[in-house]
Structure 1
């Protein structure tokens, strides 16, 4: 099993829902599934297995999850495959589900059971023939490049006033900005939120400079605990977070100073906590999905270390994941951003040049995040990776993030 989540944003860059995409088989080890991977197991909806195993609290922070169904699986006993509330699940249909009586009847049944419904991959000429199905839908996913949103909005407001319009394939920040300015869509899906920064004239804020100083202290070999504690002392949020952690560790000990707290944690744990806490703070003025992205990416990279025969390098892979969006955090091109912080040379080579063993891990993770299962399968074959271990590595990263930021 492989699975990943794709966020859907509103016009404030807040995540409103996630689409879950899963694959049961390795494409290269099971070539017969090419072009028909969605239909393996016919009535089995593997995405629902993921949702049920993880629960919406861990998987999506309690937000709705879009789950693809096809012309076979829509007739399965969906309620038996899904253990989460029906109202949190959006069944995502496509044009393989035809506007015929058997499908229309089934759509009405599912709506009656409390599931939300969405439609994708329809052409403009399909809107009228699909009238009975669309009248039951809560969302429709539209390719923004192939539609006049003003006309579409008028049409849907008139004919299907209950339906929310979702723009898909929004690949750049410029596209997102233009679409939100026009105001025609309710939700937006695409890779725009993680696009690299090409150039910037902005100065890094003084608070972020303090965070960078702290990163540089702890990412030097054999860093000094006292020096790290003194830098932590400049930021109240980090002080509070550190004291909360240490107080849980030492219930019967009185923490007398920040330096005392740092010494209680020890060099290894303090370094790990600082890298994680500082990354979270660097993302605080960005969409919350950036924090989620880099945190899960970091833990996923660490969890994949053994599969890539890099078990001894797991801590550095964790840092690579955290810093993989450093350009977005600092609003600087990646080369400039990395010049500001101390990072291991292998991390720098992966992030800047796409070279070395770490780059293989990063490229794998990016393909995984995009649900590019063909490329993911190809890499798993080349690296002799076990699919179940990859899946567990991803689920482990989701659980870790849930426990790290429970309020998310």
Structure 2
């Protein structure tokens, strides 16, 4: 069984990944809408499918999860290991002596607790000594109130997490206020003041992309270009001999690799390699998100319009290229040899591929009404989307571990 859940990355001051908040459709308690919210939460967390999903979604970092008040009071979070979860208390939960005692017990058992959408109120003071982290919503809180809250929390041993950080300016401002962690998609926006030239090995990859953008590939030309770059040759042979392909005999030459993989797989491999190399100095989550989008778009297209699958993959992969190169998208598109359909979707959100990109963007942000509407427009069964998303996340994780 698959369930609707999106993940949002949480980064530290070095822009390294420290966790994901899991965003469930209609909140966690409504995954099973026909039963009591607390019972629904218990069933969900107790199910093996959820544990498998957690591993796939978060890997080695913890999941930040909101829990209903009753679930907290009856200690449902303890169904998960303490190193896999950060327990989020919603602002709607009323502080009480019972809640205080439970937070104290959870902390003694090694669980981390975060207060979500926090606004400083006197009734939270008895709870704060047992809390590890406070999350402040930068969209719902004024600058003055954020500053005031930070000042009032300074005497507590707490970490501060800035939520809904969408620009680099907001990230830098939160840094100056002393925030430790940052949730939002600021890292996927370009820092236009940092535009840089392509390195020689990156130019080689762009030349390969140009060749692969043609209707048919000339393997002799590809062989010649790949031979110029020892690192590229090594990565190609490592990829084709990896566990992705069930081969009994090892492939030892570029030509063999090209013939074995075929045009579609070669296009994907080079595109992935190009994106990873171009994002070398960027947060790792940027390339992970790019690959997840690529696979998600490809899976939808394979079902609905197979002729667009390859282009849908490239669309998702290069949807963040502006942030990777720190340049406006129109300038980047003038440099990259991508098809007109891909460029139209990336620049204007128009054309036959545009809805694929819009769908994954809404899914990432848990805009479920938008997901339903776009699914209907595209003609994809909404019941398949969780499976596609989990596949894409797992595929991205496994590629980056190679």
TM bin, normalised by shorter chain, reads 0.7 to 0.9
Q: 2:209 aligns with which of 210, 215, 219?
A: 215
Give the distance between the partners of 1:224 and 1:61, measured in 2 at CA.
39
* 8 Å Cα contact 1:197/1:334 also seen in 2: no
Give the distance between the partners of 1:312 and 1:41, measured in 2 at CA.
43
Give the distance between the partners of 1:348 and 1:302, measured in 2 at CA.
16
Give the distance between the partners of 1:387 and 1:201, measured in 2 at CA.
39
* 8 Å Cα contact 2:37/2:68 also seen in 1: no
* 8 Å Cα contact 1:301/1:365 also seen in 2: yes
Q: 1:203 aligns with which of 197, 200, 218?
A: 197
Superposition RMSD in Å: 2.8
Give the distance between the partners of 2:378 and 2:208, measured in 1 at CA.
36
Give the distance between the partners of 2:59 and 2:378, measured in 1 at CA.
33
Q: Deviations over 1:106-154 (max 9, x none)?
A: 3334334432110022322x1x311222221111001345355665445
Map 1:337-352 onto structure 2 (within 5 A).
337-352=332-347
The 1:8–1:338 alpha-carbon spacing in structure 2 relative to 1, beyond 3 Å, is same
Matched, 1:240 2:240: no
The 1:53–1:135 alpha-carbon spacing in structure 2 relative to 1, beyond 3 Å, is same
Give the distance between the partners of 2:18 and 2:179, measured in 1 at CA.
13
Give the distance between the partners of 1:198 and 1:97, measured in 2 at CA.
42
Counterpart in 2 of 1:119? 115
User: Deviation at 1:286?
Assistant: 1.1
Q: 1:334 aligns with which of 329, 343, 357?
A: 329
TM-score, scaled to structure 1: 0.85
Counterpart in 1 of 2:22? 20
Matched, 1:387 2:382: yes
User: Deviation at 1:394?
Assistant: 0.3
Matched, 1:358 2:358: no
* 8 Å Cα contact 1:47/1:67 also seen in 2: no
Matched, 1:290 2:290: no
* 8 Å Cα contact 1:303/1:314 also seen in 2: yes
Counterpart in 2 of 1:65? 63
Q: Deviations over 1:4-37 (max 9, x none)?
A: 1111111111111110111169xxxxxxx8xxx8
The 1:305–1:24 alpha-carbon spacing in structure 2 relative to 1, beyond 3 Å, is farther
* 8 Å Cα contact 1:139/1:164 also seen in 2: yes
* 8 Å Cα contact 1:8/1:18 also seen in 2: yes
Q: Identify unmatched segments of 5+ residues in structure 2.
A: none
Counterpart in 2 of 1:156? 153
Q: Identify unmatched segments of 5+ residues in structure 1.
A: 26-32
Counterpart in 2 of 1:94? 90
Counterpart in 2 of 1:53? 52
